[in-house]
Amino acid sequence: MKEFFKYALATVCGIIALGIVAGIIMMISFAGIVASGNATTEIKENSVLVFKLNGTVNERTEEGTPFDALLGTADMSSMGLDDILAAIKKAKNNEDIKGIYIEGGATVFDSPATAQQVRDALEDFKKSGKWIIAYADQYLQASYYVASVADSLFINKTGMIDFKGMGGKGYYMTGLYEKVGVKYQCTRVGKYKSAVESVTRKDMSDNDREQRLAMYQGIWQHWLKQMAASRKVTAEQLNKVADDSIMVFANINDYKTAKLIDGAMYPDAIKNIIKDKLGLDEDDDINQVTMSEMLNVPEDEKEDGGKIAIYYAYGEIVDQPLSGFASEHAIVGSEVVEDLKKLADDDDIKAVVMRVNSPGGSAIASEQIWHAIKLLKEKKPIVVSMGGYAASGGYMISAPANYIIAEPTTVTGSIGIFGLIPNASELVTEKLGVTWDGVQTNKHTDYETNLVFGKDNEEELRFLQTYVDRGYDTFLSIVAEGRGMTKEQVHEIAQGRVWLATDALPIKLVDKIGSLNDAVKKAAELADCSEYYTAPYPGKSSWFDQLLAATNDSKGTYLDQQLKETLGELYEPVIELRKDCQRNRLQARFPFATTIK
Q: What are the DSSP calls for 576-595, one per residue?
A: HHHHHTTS-SEEEE-SS---
Percent of the chain with pLDDT over 90: 52
* pLDDT of 39 higher than 80: no
User: What is the mean predicted confidence (pLDDT) over 433-448?
Assistant: 84
* pLDDT of 463 higher than 90: no
pLDDT band at 451 (very low <50, low <70, confident <90, very high): confident
Between 176 and 69, the more confident residue is 176
User: What is the mean predicted confidence (pLDDT) over 23-36?
Assistant: 48
Mean pLDDT of the chain: 84
Determine the pLDDT at residue 573: 60
pLDDT band at 119 (very low <50, low <70, confident <90, very high): very high
pLDDT band at 69 (very low <50, low <70, confident <90, very high): very low
Determine the pLDDT at residue 321: 77
Say which range, 81-90, 195-204, 577-586, has the weakest mean pLDDT: 577-586
Determine the pLDDT at residue 591: 61
| CA-atom Rg of the chain in angstroms | 27
Determine the pLDDT at residue 584: 58
Say which range, 143-152, 163-172, 498-507, 579-588, has the weakest mean pLDDT: 579-588
Determine the pLDDT at residue 78: 65
Between 25 and 338, the more confident residue is 338
User: What is the mean predicted confidence (pLDDT) over 364-369?
Assistant: 94
Would you report the helix, strand and coil content of the chain in percent, each value rounded to 5? 50, 20, 30
Determine the pLDDT at residue 70: 46
User: What is the mean predicted confidence (pLDDT) over 222-228?
Assistant: 97
Determine the pLDDT at residue 592: 56
Say which range, 121-130, 449-458, 528-537, 585-594, has the weakest mean pLDDT: 585-594
* pLDDT of 409 higher than 90: yes
pLDDT band at 76 (very low <50, low <70, confident <90, very high): very low
Helix locations, 484-553, DSSP H: 487-493, 501-504, 516-526, 543-552
User: What is the mean predicted confidence (pLDDT) over 275-299?
Assistant: 90
User: What is the mean predicted confidence (pLDDT) over 274-278?
Assistant: 93
User: Which residues make up the CATH 3.90.226.10 domain(s) of the chain?
Assistant: 47-163+260-295, 306-421+457-589
* pLDDT of 177 higher than 50: yes
Number of H helices, E strands in the chain: 24, 21
Say which range, 20-29, 290-299, 585-594, has the weakest mean pLDDT: 20-29
Say which range, 4-18, 64-78, 433-447, has the weakest mean pLDDT: 64-78
User: What is the mean predicted confidence (pLDDT) over 89-112?
Assistant: 93
d(CA 539, CA 537): 5
User: What is the mean predicted confidence (pLDDT) over 568-586?
Assistant: 60
Cα 479 to its chain centre, rounded Å, is 24
Determine the pLDDT at residue 65: 46
Between 559 and 249, the more confident residue is 249
Options 3.90.226.10, 2.60.40.4070, 3.40.640.10, 3.40.1710.10; which CATH number does 47-163+260-295 get? Answer: 3.90.226.10
pLDDT band at 51 (very low <50, low <70, confident <90, very high): very high
From the list 570, 576, 575, the residue with the least C-alpha distance to 589 is 576
Determine the pLDDT at residue 499: 95
Query: What is the per-residue pLDDT across 306-315, written as a single tens digit (0 to 9) for each?
Result: 999 999 999 9
pLDDT band at 453 (very low <50, low <70, confident <90, very high): confident
β-sheet bridge partners, residue 592: none
Determine the pLDDT at residue 418: 84
For residue 66, give every residue at least 6 positions away whose Cβ sits within 8 Å of its Cβ, in sequence order, or none.
30, 33, 34, 37, 543
User: What is the mean predicted confidence (pLDDT) over 97-126?
Assistant: 94
| pTM summary value | 0.83
Say which range, 4-8, 129-133, 382-386, has the weakest mean pLDDT: 4-8
Q: Rounded to 5 degrees, what angle do the CA atoms 267, 269, 270 make? A: 70
* pLDDT of 276 higher than 80: yes
pLDDT band at 348 (very low <50, low <70, confident <90, very high): very high
pLDDT band at 224 (very low <50, low <70, confident <90, very high): very high
From the list 145, 160, 125, 126, the residue with the least C-alpha distance to 224 is 145
Determine the pLDDT at residue 96: 94
* Listed ranges 14-28, 149-163, 568-582; the one with the highest mean pLDDT: 149-163
- Residues taking part in catalysis: 193, 392
What Cα–Cα distance (Å) separates residue 176 from each residue in 145, 217, 418, 426, 596? Answer: 37, 31, 22, 13, 26
Determine the pLDDT at residue 71: 45
Determine the pLDDT at residue 199: 86
Determine the pLDDT at residue 195: 81
User: What is the mean predicted confidence (pLDDT) over 200-206?
Assistant: 91
**Local structure of 80: helix, strand or coil:** strand
User: What is the mean predicted confidence (pLDDT) over 399-418?
Assistant: 95
CB atoms < 10 A from the CB of 548, how many?
12
Phi, psi of 317 (to 5 degrees): -85, 120
Structural domain 306-421+457-589, CATH architecture: Alpha-Beta Complex (3.90)
* pLDDT of 30 higher than 80: no
d(CA 344, CA 58): 27
pLDDT band at 7 (very low <50, low <70, confident <90, very high): low
* pLDDT of 259 higher than 90: yes
pLDDT band at 167 (very low <50, low <70, confident <90, very high): confident
